[in-house]
Amino acid sequence: MLNNKGRPTQPTAVSEGETSLKTYTGNKGLDLESPLIFEQGVPGRIGVDMADPQPVKSRLGGIERKGSIGLPDLSEPQVLRHFVRLSRQNYAIDAGFYPLGSCTMKHNPRINEKVARLAGLGDLHPMQPTSTVQGALELVDSLAHWLKTITGMPAVAMSPAAGAHGELCGVMAIRAAHEANGESRARILVPESAHGTNPATAALCGYKVDAVPARKDGRMDLDAFADKLGPDVAGVMLTNPNTCGLFETDVKKIADMVHEVGGYFYCDGANLNAILGRVRPGDLGVDAMHINLHKTFSTPHGGGGPGSGPVVLSEALAPFAPIPFVTHGENGFDLVEQKSGAAVQSFGRMKGYHGQMGMFIRALAYMQSHGADGLRQIAEDAVLNANYIRVGLDDKLHSPFEGICMHEALFDDSTLKGTGVTTLDLAKAMIDEGYHPMTMYFPLVVHGAMLIEPTESESRQTLDQFIGAMRHLLDKATTGESDYFLSAPHFAPRRRLDETGAARNPVLRWLPSAPVETEETPLSAAS
């Protein structure tokens, strides 16, 4: 079905035999349909009625805009309703349980928000003279102190804007250190189970990515690792706890081995939540590790919000840290912004300004409100909750690796074999149950992987209900009700989307004169 704009009309949540339940408007109670904002626009409609401006002489030298840029004309309530409606069709950690493995979707305490909005913090400008932002620089310095203390590392680069950006920072520091030594090395070793950003980072820095297989117990294969080591290895990128939710037990040995051939040890610290206050990466021989403030330290993420990925560095890599950084001199705090003096070996600048200030404030508020004992309890409760789920499902789902997990429980899809239901179908049915699905098909080393990370901020009641819902769905899938799954989600604002089509033929621009060609999506097309 195509509507008059050439876009497919949305199948409603009501199944076919029940068309009498369709509404006139397409709305379903609180679930309100709305056209694209461009379709709502009416030429000449305005939100704010302002007097015509005084004519001014243009100083743009002829580059000023000549025509309309095609923004819709809307009233203020239309704009407001549009975005409020869209926000209500989104799932969020503030709406419900969000067990998206590896992403640490924990509650964002509201005290953090309050602090971030304090006058003097919320209205800072990055170009203010440092003499007027001494308090802000002290805050960055205090956060740096906490991060160094928690990780047992001597230095930290604060400017990277996300985990992946932190990886880039770490590998650029590794490359700069080799270059300073007059060496150019060719390979970086990365375990097969690694997050995709690890090999992507190594490749972006010009290294050949050499994948190391996993052992049967889900840890990196030490023999294969030893075989691959050589004088052309720039470093290893290892995640601990790894992406299978397991602690890499030989990590000290791995550090020694890579150091022996003159390489560096990059640790992907996205899973720091599991070991906070229990293990210090600095004691494990790590040279560089990013910390996702938006995971471990609760700053909001998802939906493209700002992340923050400070990178702790060893003595060996600290001289190559990016500028700018905060120093503490006789006249208070200062910023080193140029490659001179202490920063002469810096590999340069990663982004404009000094880092994600709003995230720094939230993260420090989170740390200070928990205190050292509270931070340690975070890790303990995160691991406890993950194991509660693991045990609650272990007679229904198969764990590819034996024993206790860390902060996330990993299952494969062997239970679903022969049912016609895939991990993806199960995930769609979870949406109907009101859950954000777990991470699927990652890590790649596990067939049909389901990676469930509850985090410490969920109660036992929430976990029990989730386990109950999963058991119910798995019983349904294994007793011949596969049709239910193939047509899920039934109750979401949108039904099964053509994800392949969306990725291959994305329509990124609204063209009023040329209707978008879209075939109605067969439900089985998503993959």
The contact set with ligand PLP (CB under 6 A) reads: 102-103, 162-164, 195, 197, 239, 243, 268, 270, 292, 307, 309
Q: What is the DSSP letter of 253?
A: H
Closest distance between ligand PLP and the C-beta of residue 65, in Å? 35
CB 96 within 8 A of CB 435: yes
Closest distance between ligand PLP and the C-beta of residue 386, in Å? 14
Closest distance between ligand PLP and the C-beta of residue 268, in Å? 5
Short-list 243, 179, 240, 204, CA closest to 188: 204
* Spatial CB neighbours of 301, under 8 Å, sequence gap ≥ 6: 103, 105, 294, 295, 307
Closest distance between ligand PLP and the C-beta of residue 408, in Å? 10
Smaller CB distance to ligand PLP: residue 103 or 326? 103
What is the SS3 string spanning 43-75? CCCCCCCCCCCCCCCCCCCCCCCCCCCCCCCCC
Closest distance between ligand PLP and the C-beta of residue 104, in Å? 8
Closest distance between ligand PLP and the C-beta of residue 87, in Å? 22
Smaller CB distance to ligand PLP: residue 185 or 294? 294
Closest distance between ligand PLP and the C-beta of residue 196, in Å? 8
Smaller CB distance to ligand PLP: residue 137 or 361? 361
Rounded Cα distance, 182 and 176, in Å: 10
Closest distance between ligand PLP and the C-beta of residue 279, in Å? 16
Strands (E), 392-467: 409-411, 439-440, 450-452
Strands (E), 222-377: 233-239, 264-268, 288-290, 311-313, 325-329, 332-336
How many Cβ atoms sit within 10 Å of the Cβ of residue 462?
Answer: 15
Closest distance between ligand PLP and the C-beta of residue 251, in Å? 15
Smaller CB distance to ligand PLP: residue 115 or 168? 168
Rounded Cα distance, 268 and 260, in Å: 21
Closest distance between ligand PLP and the C-beta of residue 162, in Å? 4
Smaller CB distance to ligand PLP: residue 336 or 440? 440
Smaller CB distance to ligand PLP: residue 308 or 415? 308
HSE-CB for 219 with a 13 A CA cutoff: 16
Rounded Cα distance, 227 and 245, in Å: 25
Tell me if residue 277 falls in helix, strand or coil.
Answer: coil
Smaller CB distance to ligand PLP: residue 441 or 491? 441
Smaller CB distance to ligand PLP: residue 268 or 425? 268
Short-list 106, 88, 31, 111, CA closest to 462: 106
Smaller CB distance to ligand PLP: residue 13 or 238? 238
Rounded Cα distance, 344 and 342, in Å: 6
Smaller CB distance to ligand PLP: residue 379 or 429? 379
Return the residue nearest ligand PLP (CB atom): 163
Give me 210's structure tokens. 């050499």
Closest distance between ligand PLP and the C-beta of residue 183, in Å? 27
Burial class of 266 by CB neighbour count within 10 A (0 to 12, 13 to 18, 19+) = buried
What is the SS3 string spanning 466-512? HHHHHHHHHHHHHCCCHHHHHCCCCCCCCCCCCHHHHHHCCCCCCCC
Tell me if residue 459 falls in helix, strand or coil.
Answer: coil
Question: Cis omega before residue 512 (within 30°)?
Answer: no
Smaller CB distance to ligand PLP: residue 105 or 234? 105
